[in-house]
C-alpha cells in the first residue's frame, strides 16, 4: 500500500462516516432503523453502485466478528443491571431455550415448505433466530420501556449470539456429526458457562483495579474499561470458551460498578458502538450484490422470515414466558421486538468463508429476510409498546458522573437535571443529603453560583456534589429517589416501587 492509497482510503472512509452519521438523523425522521441506511450506503458504493468491489468472505467474517465484539461491549457497558436483574431468568431462557426452539421450527419449515436440503435449512434457521443487539437498541433508544421488558430484551440480545455461533461454526466446518446431540449440548454449555465466568472475573478484577488506580487523565478511563472487555473476549476465545458471553458479562459488570468518569466512559463506548455499527453494516452492504439476488431468493427469504416472525418467535417466547408471570401483551411485544440486524448477516458469512455448498444462496436469502422484516417490525414498535402497556417515562432520572478526589478520599459528583426530573423545583435543603455530602456549586445558563439551602433547582442545572467515598452510594440513591418521586421521597423506598419504572 502506498501513501496515495492511504490518502484515498482516508478520503473515502471519512466521507462514508460523515454520511452515515447524517443518516442517523434521517432514519429517526422517517422512523427506520439506521442500520438499513448503512446497508443502503454500502450497496450504493458497492459493486452494483459506484463499483467498489469487495467479495472476500474471510475478511468480512473477521471484521464482522470484531465489530460484534465492540457492539456487545457497548451494550453491556450501557446496560442497567438493576433493571435487567429481575428479568434475567426470562432473558436467559429466551437466549437458549427459545432460540433453540426457533431453530427447530424454522429448519423444519424451510425443509418441508421451501424445499431446502437439511444442511441449508438448519443454517438459515440458525442464522436468523438470534436477535441483534445493535438492531434492537437502535430502535428501542427512542421507545422508553418498563424495566422488566427492556431487561428481557437486553439479556436476550446480549447472550443469544454465543450458542448460535457455536452451532453455525460446527455445521460449517463439518464438526456437528462428530459430537452427537449430547456432546454438542455439553460443548455449548461449557462454552457459555466458562465464557461467562471469565467475563465475571475480568469485569470484577478490572473494576477493583480502576477503583484503586487514580489515572492522570479522565480520557484514559474509557480506554481501559473498553480494553478490559476485549481482554475478556480474548481470554475466553483462547481456551475455546464463548468470547461473546465473556465480553458481554465483563461489560455488564464494569458498566454497573461505581467507577470514576462514568458519563465520559458511557459517551466514549456509545461512540465506539456507533462506529462499529456503521463500519459493519456498510461492509455488509458492500458484500451484497443486488443483481445476484434472484426471485427465488426473495421468495424463500420472505417466506422463511414470515415463518420465524409470525410462528416460531411467538411460540418460542410463549414456551419461555410460561415459567414466569408475563402477560400475553408483554409476550406479544417481546416477540415483535426481536429484531434481526447485523448478527444474522455476519453469521451467514461463516459458511460462506468455509465454502459450504449454496452458502451464497444462504447469504442472499438472509439479507432479504433481515431487510424486509426489520422494516416491517421496526415501524410500529412505538405504537405497539403503548398498546401493550409496556411503555414508561424514564425521563425523570438524573445523569450522574463522578471524579475521584484522592487526597481526601472523596468523590465529586456532577448531576444533570433533565426536563422531566422531579428534582426541578426542589430546594437544595430539601435534598436532605447525609452529613458528609453537600451541593457545592450549581452551573446554570453558563454561569455558576454557590447555593444556599433555599436555592431552587431548575431544569438543565448541573449540580456539583462533594461526598465522602463511603457515602457516595447513599447520596446517589437519595438523588435518584428525589428525581423520581419528588421532595417527599423517603430514605427507604420499597425497592419494588420502581420495578416497572
**CATH number, domain with residue 47:** 1.20.1530.20
Quick one: which of 196, 185, 205, 238 has its CA closest to 72? Answer: 196
Distance CA(255)–CA(78), nearest Å, equals 6
CB 323 within 8 A of CB 93: yes
Q: What is the DSSP letter of 469?
A: G
Phi/psi for 467 (5° steps) reads -140, 145
Q: Are residues 491 and 424 in the same domain?
A: yes
Domain count, the chain: 2
Q: Are residues 372 and 423 in the same domain?
A: no
Cell numbers for 189, please give them.
454449555
Q: Are residues 373 and 435 in the same domain?
A: no
Residue 408: exposure state from Cβ atoms within 10 A (0-12, 13-18, ≥19): exposed
The CATH number assigned to the domain holding 414 equals: 3.30.70.1450
Residue 435: exposure state from Cβ atoms within 10 A (0-12, 13-18, ≥19): exposed
Q: Are residues 15 and 111 in the same domain?
A: yes
Q: Which of 329, 360, 388 is the last residue of a domain?
A: 388
Flag whether 394 is in a domain. Answer: no
CB 38 within 8 A of CB 71: no
H/E stretch holding 72 reads: helix 57-77
Host domain of residue 403: 399-498
Query: Helix, strand, coil % (nearest 5) of the chain?
Result: 70, 5, 25
CB 278 within 8 A of CB 105: no
Quick one: which of 154, 136, 132 has its CA closest to 345? Answer: 132
Report the number of secondary-structure helices (H) and strands (E) in the chain.
21, 5
Q: Are residues 364 and 411 in the same domain?
A: no
Q: Which of 367, 388, 409 is the last residue of a domain?
A: 388
> What string of DSSP letters covers 198-266?
HHHHHHHHHHHHHHH---SSTTHHHHHHHHHHHHHHHHHHHTTS-HHHHHHHHHHHHHTS--TTHHHHH
Q: Are residues 426 and 352 in the same domain?
A: no
- Residue/partner pairs of 308-312 with CB below 8 Å, 24 or more apart: 308/102, 308/106, 308/125, 308/128, 308/129, 308/369, 308/373, 309/373, 309/376, 309/377, 311/105, 311/109, 312/101, 312/102, 312/105, 312/106, 312/109, 312/129
The tens place of each residue's pLDDT in the chain, 501 residues long, gives 677 778 887 887 788 778 777 766 666 555 556 677 777 778 888 777 777 777 788 888 888 888 889 888 888 888 878 778 888 889 889 988 899 999 999 999 999 999 999 999 999 999 999 887 767 766 666 677 787 888 888 888 878 888 888 888 888 887 666 666 677 778 888 888 999 999 999 999 998 888 777 677 777 888 899 899 999 999 999 998 889 889 999 999 998 887 777 767 877 888 888 888 888 888 888 888 888 888 999 999 999 999 999 999 999 999 999 888 888 999 999 999 888 877 888 888 899 888 888 889 999 999 899 889 888 887 788 888 889 888 775 545 566 666 666 566 678 888 888 888 888 899 999 898 988 899 999 998 878 899 998 999 999 899 999 988 788 888 888 898 888 888 887 644 444 444 444
Q: Are residues 330 and 473 in the same domain?
A: no
Q: Are residues 435 and 383 in the same domain?
A: no
Amino acid at each position: 500500500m502506498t501513501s496515495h492509497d492511504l490518502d484515498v482510503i482516508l478520503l473515502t472512509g471519512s466521507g462514508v462516516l460523515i454520511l452515515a452519521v447524517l443518516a442517523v438523523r434521517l432514519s429517526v425522521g422517517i422512523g427506520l432503523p439506521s442500520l438499513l441506511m448503512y446497508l443502503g450506503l454500502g450497496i450504493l458504493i458497492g459493486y452494483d453502485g459506484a463499483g467498489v468491489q469487495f467479495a472476500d468472505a474471510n475478511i468480512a467474517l473477521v471484521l464482522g466478528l470484531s465489530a460484534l465484539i465492540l457492539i456487545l461491549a457497548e451494550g453491556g457497558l450501557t446496560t442497567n443491571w438493576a433493571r435487567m436483574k429481575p428479568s434475567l431468568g426470562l432473558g436467559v431462557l429466551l437466549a437458549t431455550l427459545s432460540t433453540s426452539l426457533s431453530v427447530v421450527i424454522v429448519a423444519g419449515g424451510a425443509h418441508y415448505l421451501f424445499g431446502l436440503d437439511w444442511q441449508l435449512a438448519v443454517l438459515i434457521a440458525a442464522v436468523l433466530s438470534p436477535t441483534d443487539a445493535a438492531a434492537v437498541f437502535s430502535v428501542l433508544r427512542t421507545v422508553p420501556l418498563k424495566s422488566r421488558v427492556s431487561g428481557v430484551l437486553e439479556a436476550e440480545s446480549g447472550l443469544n449470539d454465543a450458542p448460535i455461533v457455536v452451532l453455525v461454526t460446527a455445521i460449517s466446518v463439518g464438526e456437528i456429526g462428530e459430537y452427537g446431540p449430547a456432546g454438542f449440548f455439553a460443548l455449548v454449555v461449557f462454552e457459555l458457562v466458562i465464557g461467562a465466568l471469565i467475563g465475571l472475573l475480568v469485569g470484577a478484577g478490572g473494576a477493583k483495579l480502576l477503583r484503586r488506580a487514580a489515572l492522570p487523565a479522565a480520557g484514559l478511563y474509557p480506554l481501559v474499561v473498553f480494553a478490559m472487555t476485549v481482554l475478556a473476549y480474548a481470554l475466553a476465545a483462547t481456551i475455546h470458551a464463548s468470547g461473546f458471553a465473556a465480553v458481554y458479562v465483563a461489560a455488564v459488570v464494569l458498566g454497573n460498578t461505581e467507577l470514576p468518569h462514568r458519563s465520559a466512559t458511557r459517551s466514549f463506548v456509545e461512540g465506539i458502538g456507533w462506529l462499529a455499527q456503521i463500519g459493519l453494516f456498510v461492509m455488509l452492504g458492500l458484500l451484497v450484490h443486488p443483481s445476484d439476488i434472484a426471485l427465488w431468493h426473495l421468495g424463500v427469504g420472505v417466506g422463511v422470515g414470515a415463518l420465524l416472525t409470525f410462528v416460531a418467535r411467538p411460540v418460542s417466547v410463549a414456551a419461555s414466558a410460561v415459567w414466569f408471570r408475563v402477560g400475553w401483551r408483554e409476550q406479544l411485544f417481546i416477540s415483535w421486538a426481536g429484531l434481526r440486524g447485523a448478527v444474522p448477516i455476519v453469521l451467514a458469512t461463516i459458511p460462506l468463508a468455509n465454502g459450504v455448498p449454496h452458502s451464497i444462496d444462504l447469504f442472499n436469502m438472509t439479507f432479504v429476510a433481515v431487510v424486509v422484516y426489520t422494516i416491517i417490525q421496526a415501524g410500529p414498535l412505538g405504537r405497539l409498546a403503548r398498546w401493550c402497556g409496556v411503555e414508561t417515562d424514564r425521563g425523570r432520572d438524573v445523569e450522574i458522573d463522578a471524579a475521584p478526589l484522592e487526597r481526601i478520599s472523596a468523590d465529586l459528583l456532577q448531576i444533570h437535571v433533565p426536563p422531566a426530573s422531579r428534582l426541578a423545583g426542589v430546594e437544595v435543603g430539601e435534598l436532605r443529603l447525609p452529613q458528609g455530602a453537600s451541593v457545592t456549586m450549581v452551573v446554570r445558563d453558563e454561569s455558576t453560583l454557590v447555593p444556599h439551602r433555599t436555592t431552587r433547582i431548575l431544569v438543565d442545572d448541573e449540580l456539583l456534589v462533594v461526598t465522602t467515598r463511603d457515602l457516595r452510594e447513599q447520596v446517589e440513591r437519595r438523588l435518584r429517589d428525589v428525581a423520581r418521586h419528588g421532595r417527599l421521597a423517603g430514605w427507604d423506598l420499597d425497592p419494588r416501587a420502581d420495578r416497572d419504572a
